[in-house]
Structure 1
Amino acid sequence: MRKKFSVRFLKTFVYVGAVAAALAAPKSAVADNLSDAMIGAYKTSGLLEQNRALLRATDESVAVAVARLRPIVDFAMTASHRYSRGISTFGFRDHDTNGLDVGVSMEWLLYDGGASRLGQLAAQETVLATRQSLLDIEQQVLFSAVQAYVNVLLQQDTVRLRGNNLRLLREELRAAQDRFEVGEVTRTDVALAESRVAAAQASLTESQGDLLEAKATYIEVVGNPINVVAGQPPLPQRVASLQAAESVAMRNHPSLLARQHSVKAAQHTAASTEKNLGPSVRLRADAGHTYDLNGNGDSDTSGVSLTLSQRLYAGGGLAAARRADIARLDAERGALISTQRSVTQSVAAAYVSLEAARASLVSSVERVRAAQVAFEGIREEATLGARTTLDVLQAEQELLGAQTARVQARANQALAAYQLLQAQGLLTAEHLGLAVEIYDPTLYYNLVKDAPAHISKRSKDLDRVLKALGRD
C-alpha cells in the first residue's frame, strides 16, 4: 500500500509540473483584436446612426435661417361665384357674378436690423455644437467596444485559470483519498478536499456563465460574435503628466467644445431677439389676372409696396422673450463652467486610476513571481519528504490566485488607459487611425447650407443622399 501511494504521489507532482509549465507558456492566438471590436462598433452602432441623423436635421436649421432672408413667392388661383339681389324700378333684380382670379405675389424682408442674420449665425453654431456632441457619442461607443473586448478576454482567462484550479483540486482529492487508505489522514481531510472541489466546480460554472454574458454583450456592442481573442490590447502612448493630459482635454474634449459653441449660439440668439424689437422693412409685389366668366371682360392687376413697420406694443411678449434668451445665455455660460470642471475632474480621475492600475499590475507580477518560487520550492521539498501533497497543491492554488489577480490587473490597466484617452477627447476613429470610412459631417452640410429649392439639382442630389442613407 505504501508503494501504491508513492506512485500516486509522483504522478501528482508530474501533473502539477505540467500544469505550471502550461500556465507559464505563452498563448497562441490569432483573431479578433481590439481594433476589430472598435471598427465593428463604429460601423454598426445604432446610437451613432441616430445622432448622425439628428445632426443632419440640425444642418437643415441653417437652411431654414437662410431662407428667411430670401423672397417668398406664392401662386394663387381662386374661383368665385357671387349672387346679389337688389331693388330696381320694376321690382327686384338678381345678379350673378362668376370669376376666376389667378395671381402671383412676392414678399421680401429687406431689413430687420440684422435679426435674421444673427439667427443664421446661431444656427451655424448649433450645428458645430451638435458635431462635437456626435464625437462625444462616438467616444462612448468606442469605449463600450473596449470594455466588451477586455471583458471577454478577462472572462476567458478566468475560465482557463479556474479550470486548471479544478483539475488540481481533483488531483488533491485523489491524493487525500490515497493517503486516507493508508491511514495517513482522516475522513475530515477527504471531506475538506471534496468541499474544495465542489466549490471550484461552482466557481468554474459561474465563470463560464460570465463568459457567455460577456460574449453576448460583445455582440450587442460590436454587432458580430467574437472569435478567438487576439490577446491583451495595445495600450495608448503614456501621457507625460496629469497637467499635460488636462491641457489636451481642454483643447480637444468634444463635450467642452460643444458647450463653447452652445454659448456662442445663445449669444447670437439673444442679440437676434433684441434686434426684433426694432423696425423692419418689407417689399411686397403682386400681379394677377381676373377672368370674368359672365363675359363682361377680363382685367389685370399689379402692384408694388414698400412697408416700414414697427411694433409698438405686444403685451410685453417681446420683452419677455428677450429676457428669457438672456437667461438662457447665462445658463449656457454656467453649464460651460461646469463642463470645464467636469472634464478636468474626469481626466484627473482617469489618470489616477491608470497609475493605480499600473502599480497594481506591478504588484501582481511580483506576487506571481513569489508564488512561483514558493511553489517550486515546496514541490522540491516534497520530493524529499518534507512536504505533503496538500502543501504542494495549496502552493499551486496560491500561484493560480496570483495569476488570476494579474489577469484582473491587466484588464483594469487596459480599461483605465482607454478611459484616460476618452477623458482627453482622443478616443475617436480618426485619432486612433481605425480602418473605417470616417463619417464626414460637412458633406451633407455643404449640400444644404445654401437652402437649395426643391426643384434644384442640388435638392435632387440630396434626395439621392437620403436614399443612400436608407432614410428616403
Structure 2
Amino acid sequence: MLRKTLKNLQGPLLAALLAGGAALPAHAETLADTLVAAYRHSALLEQNRAVLRAADEDAASAIAALRPVLQWVAGYTYQNVEGIDGYSASIGLQAQMTLYDWGRNAIAIDIAKESVLATRAALVGVEQDVLLGAVQSYLNVRSAMEQVDLQENSVRVIGQEQRAATDRFEVGEITQTDVAQADAALAEARANLATAEGDLQIARESFRTATGKPPVNLSPPPPTPKLPATLVAARDIGRNTHPLIQQARREAAAAELGVAAAAAERNPTLTGTAGISRERSRSVNGFGQTSTVEGGSIGVDLSQTIYSGGRLPSAHRKAMAQRDSARSALLNTSRQVDEAVGNAWAGIDVARAQIGAIDEQIAAAQQAYNGVREEATLGARTTLDVLDAEQSLLEARANKITAEANLQLAHYQLLSAMGLLTVENLKLGIPTYDPSAYYNAVQDAPFTSRQGESLDRVLRAIGKD
C-alpha cells in the first residue's frame, strides 16, 4: 500500500514542478530550475559527500584488518667491547596476519557497513534541507517582489490622494489638518516601500547563496504538489521513508553490533608471523672478522587478556549504554518526524483557511474603499477616512501574498517531512551523485595498479580528481 501511494505521488510531483513553467518564455526561471541550481551549487552537499567517502574508507580499513601486514626492517648496530670495535647490519621482511579472532574483525566490518548506510541516509537528509532552502528562497523572492509592487502601487494611490487633498485645501473644502494627514500617509507609504525593497534585496542574497546566481525573471510558483489522502497516510510514508529515521535505524544497528564487539574483545587472538632476514657483522681488531647470517622464521601466537584492570568490562557496559541511547534516539527521531508531518499538514490547512478569509476581506475592503472615496467627494467623509480604508485594503492584499507563499512552502515542508523532497523523487531529470560508486571502488581496500586506476575513474566521475 505504501509503495503504491509513493508511486502515485511521484508523477504529480514532477507535473507540479514543471507545469508552472510550461507555457512561459524559455528564459523564465521555474522552481524546478532553482532546485537544480541549488543541488549543483551546494557546498554543504559536497561536504557531506566527502564525509560519506570517509565512512566508505572505514569499511575498507575494517576489511584490510583481515589481510596480512608485510613490512621491511633494517638495522645497524655499533658496539665496543674491551677495546674491540664491532658493527652489525641487518635487513629483513616480516609478515603478520590474524588467523582467527573469534569474530572480532567480522563484527567490525558489519559495524563499518552500517555506518556507511547511516551516512548515506544523512546525505539524503542534507539534500532535503538544501532543496527546501531553495524552495524557501525562491518563494521569498517572489513574495518580496509582489510586496514591492503592492507598496509602489500604494505610494502611487496615496500620492494621488495627497494631491487631491492639496487641491481641495486650496479651494477651501478641507483644512490644513487633512493635508497633513495625507502627507503623513504618503511618507509612511514611502517608508513601507523602502522596507519592502530592502526585504527584496535580502531575499535576492539568500537566493544567490542557495543557488550560486542571482534571481532573474522568476516564473510564478507551480501548482502545489499532490498530497496523500490523509494525515495518517502521510505519517506512514514519513516513518518508512524519512532519511533521519533511516539513519537512526542504521546507527541503532551499529550500536547493537558494538555490544557484541565489546564482548568479543575478551576472546583469544591467533596470530601468524613469518620473516626472512640477512645480517652481516664485523669485529675490528688486529685480524678483523666478518660473518654473514641468513635466516627465516615462521610461527603462531595465541593470546588472550586475562585481566585488564576493569577496562574490558567498562567498555562492554559503555557499549550497552550507547546501544540504549541509539534506540532512544530512533524513537525520538520517529516522533519528531511525526510532529513535522503534522505541523506541515496543519500549516497547509491554516494557509488555505487564511487565503479564503483574506479573499473575503479583500472584497469587503475594496467595496468599503470605493464607497468611502465616493462619499469623500461629496463631503460626507474626511481624507483620513479615505486613507484608513486604503490602508485596510493594502494590509489585506499584503496578507494574502504572505498566506499564498506560506501555502506553497507548507506543501514542500510536508514533502520534506515525508522524506520525498529529493532530486530522485521530484524527477528533476539531472545526473545525481551515486553514493555507492566510491564504496564499490574501495570496498576491497584496493592496492594494485588496476584497482587504483578504477578508483581514479570514480574520482574523476564525481569531480574530485
TM-score (norm 1): 0.86
Please give the alpha-carbon distance, in whole angstroms, between the structure 1 residues aligned to 2:159 and 2:44: 48
For residues 245-301 of structure 1, the C-alpha deviation after alignment (integer angstroms, 9 at most, x for no partner) is: 100000011111100000111111210111110111111111112234566442221
Confirm or deny: 8 A CA contact 1:172 1:389 kept in the other structure: no
Change (3 A) 1:432 1:387: farther
Equivalent residue, structure 2, for 1:458: 451
Secondary structure (helix, strand or coil) at the match of 1:81 reads strand
Structure 1 position 241, deviation (Å): 1.1
Secondary structure (helix, strand or coil) at the match of 2:88 reads strand
1:101 aligns with 2:90: yes
Secondary structure (helix, strand or coil) at the match of 2:266 reads coil
Please give the alpha-carbon distance, in whole angstroms, between the structure 2 residues aligned to 1:259 and 1:401: 45
Secondary structure (helix, strand or coil) at the match of 2:420 reads coil
Please give the alpha-carbon distance, in whole angstroms, between the structure 2 residues aligned to 1:416 and 1:423: 10
Please give the alpha-carbon distance, in whole angstroms, between the structure 1 residues aligned to 2:175 and 2:224: 52
Equivalent residue, structure 1, for 2:103: 114
Please give the alpha-carbon distance, in whole angstroms, between the structure 2 residues aligned to 1:421 and 1:315: 53
Equivalent residue, structure 2, for 1:4: none
1:264 aligns with 2:270: no
1:410 aligns with 2:404: yes
Output aligned runs, 1:277-288, within 5 Å: 277-288=266-277
For residues 404-455 of structure 1, the C-alpha deviation after alignment (integer angstroms, 9 at most, x for no partner) is: 22111101101111111111111111111123321111000101111112x4
Confirm or deny: 8 A CA contact 2:68 2:97 kept in the other structure: yes
Secondary structure (helix, strand or coil) at the match of 2:298 reads strand
Please give the alpha-carbon distance, in whole angstroms, between the structure 1 residues aligned to 2:28 and 2:394: 26
Equivalent residue, structure 2, for 1:123: 112
Secondary structure (helix, strand or coil) at the match of 2:165 reads helix
Equivalent residue, structure 2, for 1:19: none
Please give the alpha-carbon distance, in whole angstroms, between the structure 2 residues aligned to 1:441 and 1:28: 35
Equivalent residue, structure 2, for 1:68: 65
Equivalent residue, structure 2, for 1:429: 423
Equivalent residue, structure 1, for 2:338: 344
Equivalent residue, structure 1, for 2:124: 135
Confirm or deny: 8 A CA contact 1:286 1:303 kept in the other structure: yes
Output aligned runs, 1:24-423, within 5 Å: 31-85=28-82, 94-292=83-281, 296-374=290-368, 390=383, 395-423=389-417
Equivalent residue, structure 1, for 2:14: none
Which structure has the greater CA radius of gyration? 1
Change (3 A) 1:426 1:337: same
Confirm or deny: 8 A CA contact 1:155 1:210 kept in the other structure: yes
Confirm or deny: 8 A CA contact 1:283 1:305 kept in the other structure: yes
- Residue type of the alignment partner of 1:349: N
Structure 1 position 239, deviation (Å): 2.2
User: Which stretch shifts more, 455-464 or 63-72?
Assistant: 455-464
Please give the alpha-carbon distance, in whole angstroms, between the structure 1 residues aligned to 2:301 and 2:24: 81
Structure 1 position 208, deviation (Å): 0.6
For residues 23-42 of structure 1, the C-alpha deviation after alignment (integer angstroms, 9 at most, x for no partner) is: xxxx9886222112211111
Structure 1 position 105, deviation (Å): 1.2
Please give the alpha-carbon distance, in whole angstroms, between the structure 1 residues aligned to 2:257 and 2:293: 48
User: Which stretch shifts more, 324-333 or 372-381?
Assistant: 372-381
- Residue type of the alignment partner of 2:37: G
Q: Which runs of 5+ in 2 are unaligned?
A: 1-22, 283-287
Structure 1 position 470, deviation (Å): 6.3
Change (3 A) 1:458 1:43: same
- Residue type of the alignment partner of 2:191: A
Please give the alpha-carbon distance, in whole angstroms, between the structure 1 residues aligned to 2:413 and 2:233: 16
Aligned residues between the structures: 436
Change (3 A) 1:387 1:465: farther
- Residue type of the alignment partner of 1:452: P
Please give the alpha-carbon distance, in whole angstroms, between the structure 1 residues aligned to 2:264 and 2:111: 14
Secondary structure (helix, strand or coil) at the match of 2:225 reads coil
Equivalent residue, structure 1, for 2:438: 444
Identity %: 39
Secondary structure (helix, strand or coil) at the match of 1:272 reads helix
Secondary structure (helix, strand or coil) at the match of 1:144 reads helix
Secondary structure (helix, strand or coil) at the match of 2:137 reads helix
Secondary structure (helix, strand or coil) at the match of 2:213 reads coil
- Residue type of the alignment partner of 1:143: L
Equivalent residue, structure 1, for 2:17: none
User: Which stretch shifts more, 114-123 or 430-439?
Assistant: 430-439
Confirm or deny: 8 A CA contact 1:379 1:392 kept in the other structure: yes
Confirm or deny: 8 A CA contact 2:185 2:387 kept in the other structure: no
- Residue type of the alignment partner of 1:51: N
- Residue type of the alignment partner of 1:459: G
Q: Which runs of 5+ in 1 are unaligned?
A: 1-26, 86-93
Please give the alpha-carbon distance, in whole angstroms, between the structure 2 residues aligned to 1:444 and 1:437: 16
Equivalent residue, structure 2, for 1:20: none
Secondary structure (helix, strand or coil) at the match of 1:369 reads helix
Structure 1 position 457, deviation (Å): 2.1
Please give the alpha-carbon distance, in whole angstroms, between the structure 2 residues aligned to 1:395 and 1:28: 36
Structure 1 position 173, deviation (Å): 0.9
Please give the alpha-carbon distance, in whole angstroms, between the structure 1 residues aligned to 2:142 and 2:153: 17
Change (3 A) 1:234 1:291: farther
